[in-house]
Amino acid sequence: MIFIKSIYCLIYGGNLLLLLISPINREEAVEAIEGGADIVDVKNPKEGSLGANFPWVIEDIREITPDETLVSATLGDVDYKPGTVSLAALGAFTSGADYIKVGLYGTKDYNEALEVMRNVVKTIKNRKKDAIVVASGYADAHRVGSVNPLEIPKIAKDSGSDLAMLDTAVKDGKGLFDFLDIDILKDFVDEAHSYGLMTALAGSLKKEQLKPLSDIGCDVVGIRGAACIGGDRNTGKINRIAVSELKSFINGF
């Protein structure tokens, strides 16, 4: 498995932007793997931006994914229910995920988000210290009343998480750059790196937006729509040619 230390070597030794692709089932996972995704991120868009999939889907995808490729699982756009979220984290971990992503949707401030993340970290790290825990906020948090996205790096650091992430909560055609400009995103990345954390950015990203994110030092970009036939995250299906084109584009930076 590739775990935190080797990922740091990949990123900081080779200045590599990792491509995370989000399939919903085995068929799409095969397309993501064959296309060259670095991280296979199991999610369920029917349940939201970071909607959770079923344990058997995670297990199935882990089984077909090469050992050197990380399998990520989203726990959902979670409520402020630390116990419930911790149990969900344990379920994702025991199903084979080694990259556990929490969407802090229902946490309205730093303290609530910190409580959720501390308990998820305790749950996961007690079982495998090298597993990666991701605290994810939303660039459009003001639209859903969740925690300020610019507090996510500190929440990740103070909870013992490994990676600070931003996505968008509402999937209505607006993306990451509609809410945060490149200078603010650079500040986000720089702050997270100053704490020794990795960073991931997502949110209806377009191919031409990946180079600016690489330039500011982002470690992981999360993609679904741009890897789907027709470019639609909900109605399209992930296609290996689209994934391969994204991977080749990134490798050319």
Q: Which residues are known catalytic residues?
A: 43, 101
How far is C-alpha 63 from the chain's CA centre?
Answer: 20
Residue 210 buriedness (CB in 10 A; 0-12 / 13-18 / 19+): buried
- The span from the CA of 194 to the CA of 131, in Å, is 21
Residues 18/222, Cβ–Cβ less than 8 Å: no
CB 29 within 8 A of CB 42: yes
The token duo for 136 is: 């994810």
Q: How far apart are CA 189 and CA 75, in angstroms?
A: 23
For residue 35, the one-letter residue type is G
Strand pairing partners for 248?
none
Beta bridge partners of 137: 166
The separation between CA 88 and the C-alpha centre of its own chain, rounded to angstroms, equals 16
Does residue 73 contact residue 44 with C-beta atoms inside 8 Å? Answer: no
Tokens matching residue 110: 């730093």
Instruction: Tell me the HSE value of 91 on the side-chain side, using a 13 A CA sphere.
Output: 16
Instruction: Provide the token pair at 6.
Output: 């080797």
Nearest one of 112, 75, 236, 219 to 171, comparing CA atoms: 236
